[in-house]
Amino acid sequence: MEKAGIDLLIVTDPANMAWLTGYDGNAFYVPQCVVVSKAKDPLWFGRGMDANGCRRTTYLGEDRIRSYEDHYVQSDTLHPMMVLGQIIAEEGHGSATIGVEKDNYYFSALSFEVLSTALPNATFKNADRLINWQRIVKSEREIAYMRGAGKIIEVMYQRISETLRPGVKQSDVVAELTHAGTRGVGEYWGDYPAAVPNIGAGADASAPHLTWSDRPIRPDESIFFELAGVHKRYHCPLARTYYLGKPTPQILDAEKAVLDGMQAGLEKALAGNCCEDIAQAYVGQLARYGLVKTGRSGYSIGLGYPPAWGENTASFRDGDKTELRPGMTFHFMTGLWYGDWGIEITESILITERQVEFLSNVPRKLFVID
Amino acid sequence: MEKAGIDLLIVTDPANMAWLTGYDGNAFYVPQCVVVSKAKDPLWFGRGMDANGCRRTTYLGEDRIRSYEDHYVQSDTLHPMMVLGQIIAEEGHGSATIGVEKDNYYFSALSFEVLSTALPNATFKNADRLINWQRIVKSEREIAYMRGAGKIIEVMYQRISETLRPGVKQSDVVAELTHAGTRGVGEYWGDYPAAVPNIGAGADASAPHLTWSDRPIRPDESIFFELAGVHKRYHCPLARTYYLGKPTPQILDAEKAVLDGMQAGLEKALAGNCCEDIAQAYVGQLARYGLVKTGRSGYSIGLGYPPAWGENTASFRDGDKTELRPGMTFHFMTGLWYGDWGIEITESILITERQVEFLSNVPRKLFVID
């Protein structure tokens, strides 16, 4: 904050709120935040009915929990940021330089407008990703949670492999994989993922972010799943593609290209290299097979809340010079989507002092179900 | 739009986007929108990789699908709204009066700032809830989907009743109820809820928006669930409270108060009355039992995407004079939360020409498991 010239930081990203205070609630659909200053403990601000949730999940003292009345919720005339403005002024920060997460889902254009009006003497600075970047190197405990999430994704794919057969409804397969993911494994119980399963069957595999219906699984068709195992809000995403029947040459060629490309990328996943090295190795290898990959090939992962499990910091793409350091975790998102087909085989990885570590152990291949 | 003095409307709420065009994707974690003008079909704008998702779920022609390159995603220097600004200018709307959903989750403060800069001659108006209000009276087909969602919530509670026993992990109960909810019933397959299950066991029942862990279900304790059955993105939320063992006088008194209060409220749930009538009847009846309810007692429901299934329009609360009309659907959210306990017994309802219709049939009572 000092380096960024910020006196006071308003944190609206639920993952940042949780990382700073432990606050874990499902109430981010109404305005709430954690206000960080230099002098005092963070201040939690949220809806009145959620203050008990704060009391039950954070270490904050009663004087650092402030809330707004329910008639501020979804009103045409009142807005919770009016109340936050008053609190900030009362705390003596009315003329402060205030950092706000301007591009966060939970800090709307109106929130900013109302807060600015309520604090006419304050100066606002964009503090997007300031906390996110602090989260990028994981602690031992965070890594343990993510390895737990990795064990969970293993049983999710096990269940898919047992269930996925021609004629079975997509929704029934999702019921099974979600069941396995929520039960978890041993001490690792399953938490909810920041995003629901993406599924692409047949030509729908050309689109990465569609979900399911009751469409039956069809023979002689591929279907991909992009899912996350989750433990205590920490994610291990993983995608795999299945083929029902005898795979076509096209999908077998794509499998080979993706696996070779991944191998090339993974060899670059070493402390001291940078993010773009992995992307370039992957995309470069794909090119040898005549495949073009335009999007990014991965992103930082960890603690996450809806709508996404990415940390919004480092990406595997051209120009991202973020240095890989031990304790960083990424989803090496190697999915390919073209006009009427696609393939997703991915890994979630941990950068270590030596070679890359995989957060889960699911065979890295096209799964074929005869 | 004409009445609001708006030439062009930028719709970022995923439920509004779906309602207008059919677009159904899980990609709202990156900027995307539907742009509505008077002259042409809506224009879909989103990330390049999601354009196929638009092609596969909407009726829009190729010339009405526009996208941005992947290096605009989560960049410190580029923003998708730069591209949208160019497109709007090219379409001849550079000097238009443009409505934006200023308080929507998916239209950030930065999105607004970048778009305003890209379109210096445009005038912006807040168009929050303009489309939401159009959605409040449901069509016959929408009602059919919500009745289907109602059948789904019935089997979810059935599964809970079969599973909930002292010693069982909360996460295992959630695995079961999610399994039942995703499988659905007959033709009604289960879609994902806009918000994950809220659970309150023991003193955690004082907080409405906590989720689960592997904490075992305890004897002589109450636990509430707030869940939704979902079919084709249409929701039927419902909460019920269970007691494991012999209920305490406190919870039995609360049950009686809530049920009496609900009865009073439901008697007001008639076309021609207004939203606050229901709230006042409920809160008034509770007061006779010495219980104070401060928050709102319900809200409009229907089509929804994360992070919430409410439509953000009418609420059951003092001052809400929205007239009840046939085809309106609400979650009568009668939950009570106090210092160290809480109770939730709710109904999702349809306003008709005659008496209120319940979207699901789950016994309206405290469930006791001996």
Mean pLDDT across the stretch A244-259? 96
Assign 3-state DSSP to chain B and report helix, strand, coil percentages, each to 5: 35, 25, 40
Q: Specify the pTM.
A: 0.97
% pLDDT > 90, chain B:
97
Pick from B311, B358, B158, B144: nearest CA to B232: B144
Interface check for A25 against chain B (CB to CB < 8 A): the answer is yes
Q: Name the token pair of A254.
A: 């794509």
Chain B 199-218, residues with CB within 8 Å of chain A CB atoms: 203-204, 206-214
pLDDT-based confidence at B134, cuts 50/70/90? very high
Residue of B79, B183, B214 with shortest CB distance to A175? B183
What's A102's domain CATH number?
3.40.350.10
Domain co-membership, A96 together with A168: no
Domain co-membership, B222 together with B303: yes
- Angstrom distances, CA of residue A65 to CA of A33, A68, B40, B210, B295: 11, 11, 50, 17, 18
Q: Looking at the 3D structure of chain A, how many domains does it have?
A: 2
How many Å lie between the alpha carbon of A197 and the closest alpha carbon of chain B? 9
> According to the model, what pLDDT value does residue A295 have?
87
Pick from A256, A240, A244, A270: nearest CA to A335: A240
Of B104, B135, B166, the domain-final residue: B135
- Angstrom distances, CA of residue B319 to CA of B135, B282, B298: 21, 15, 13
**What amino acid is encoded at B344 in this protein?**
E
Q: Are B54 and B60 in contact (CB under 8 A)?
A: yes
Domain co-membership, B344 together with B220: yes
CB-based contact A315 B109, cutoff 8 Å: no
Q: What is the pLDDT of residues A20-46, one digit of tens each?
A: 999 999 999 999 999 999 989 999 999
Q: Which residue of B has its CA nearest to A215?
A: B189
Residue B110: list chain A partners with CB under 8 A: 102-103, 126, 128
- Fill in the DSSP letter of residue A137: B
Interface check for B220 against chain A (CB to CB < 8 A): the answer is no
Interface check for A249 against chain B (CB to CB < 8 A): the answer is no
Domain co-membership, B152 together with B298: yes
Classify B3 as helix, strand or coil.
coil
> According to the model, what pLDDT value does residue B339 have?
87
Q: What is the pLDDT of residues A218-247, one digit of tens each?
A: 999 999 999 999 999 999 999 999 999 999
> According to the model, what pLDDT value does residue B164 have?
98
Interface check for A22 against chain B (CB to CB < 8 A): the answer is no
Interface check for B100 against chain A (CB to CB < 8 A): the answer is yes
Interface check for A226 against chain B (CB to CB < 8 A): the answer is no
Q: What is the pLDDT of residues A62-116, one digit of tens each?
A: 999 999 999 999 999 999 999 999 999 999 999 999 999 999 999 999 999 999 9
% pLDDT > 70, chain B:
100
> According to the model, what pLDDT value does residue B329 have?
98
Domain co-membership, A210 together with A325: yes
> According to the model, what pLDDT value does residue B291 have?
95
CB-based contact B207 A29, cutoff 8 Å: no
Domain co-membership, A153 together with A119: no
Dist CA B155 CA A306 (whole Å): 26
Domain co-membership, B301 together with B182: yes
Residue B297 lies in domain: 140-368
Mean pLDDT of chain A: 97
CB-based contact B56 A203, cutoff 8 Å: yes
Residue of A53, A172, A213 with shortest CB distance to B210? A53
Q: Which residue of B has its CA nearest to A341?
A: B52
Q: Which long-range CB contacts under 8 A does A354-357 form with residues at least 24 apart?
A: A355/A270, A356/A266, A356/A269, A356/A270
Of B98, B113, B135, the domain-final residue: B135
Dist CA B14 CA A195 (whole Å): 14
Q: Is the pLDDT of residue A339 over 90?
A: no
Pick from A99, A119, A100: nearest CA to A108: A100
Mean pLDDT across the stretch B149-159? 98
> According to the model, what pLDDT value does residue B294 have?
85
How many Å lie between the alpha carbon of A107 and the closest alpha carbon of chain B? 6
Domain co-membership, A88 together with A147: no
Domain co-membership, A181 together with A112: no
> According to the model, what pLDDT value does residue A262 have?
98
Residue B334: list chain A partners with CB under 8 A: none
Of A120, A135, A150, the domain-final residue: A135
First to last CA, chain A: 57
Domain co-membership, B42 together with B118: yes
pLDDT-based confidence at B107, cuts 50/70/90? very high
Q: What is the pLDDT of residues A151-168, one digit of tens each?
A: 999 999 999 999 999 999
> According to the model, what pLDDT value does residue A181 have?
98
Strands A97-100 and A8-11: parallel
Choosing among B13, B103, B192, which should be mutated to test the A contact, i.e. which has the most A CBs within 10 A?
Answer: B103
Mean pLDDT across the stretch A206-216? 96
Domain co-membership, B145 together with B126: no
> According to the model, what pLDDT value does residue A346 have?
98
Domain co-membership, A109 together with A192: no
pLDDT-based confidence at B309, cuts 50/70/90? very high
Q: What is the pLDDT of residues B155-194, one digit of tens each?
A: 999 999 999 999 999 999 999 999 999 999 999 999 999 9
> According to the model, what pLDDT value does residue B295 have?
87
CB-based contact A175 B169, cutoff 8 Å: no
Mean pLDDT across the stretch A116-129? 98
Interface check for A358 against chain B (CB to CB < 8 A): the answer is no
CB-based contact B296 A70, cutoff 8 Å: yes
Q: Is the pLDDT of residue B370 over 90?
A: no
Interface check for A296 against chain B (CB to CB < 8 A): the answer is yes
Choosing among A75, A189, A231, which should be mutated to test the B contact, i.e. which has the most B CBs within 10 A?
Answer: A189
Q: Are A191 and A112 in contact (CB under 8 A)?
A: no
How many Å lie between the alpha carbon of B103 and the closest alpha carbon of chain A? 5
CB-based contact A109 B107, cutoff 8 Å: yes
Chain A 35-54, residues with CB within 8 Å of chain B CB atoms: 48-50, 52-53
pLDDT-based confidence at A294, cuts 50/70/90? confident
Residue of A171, A192, A203 with shortest CB distance to B196? A192
What's A200's domain CATH number?
3.90.230.10
Classify A167 as helix, strand or coil.
coil
Mean pLDDT across the stretch B111-131? 98
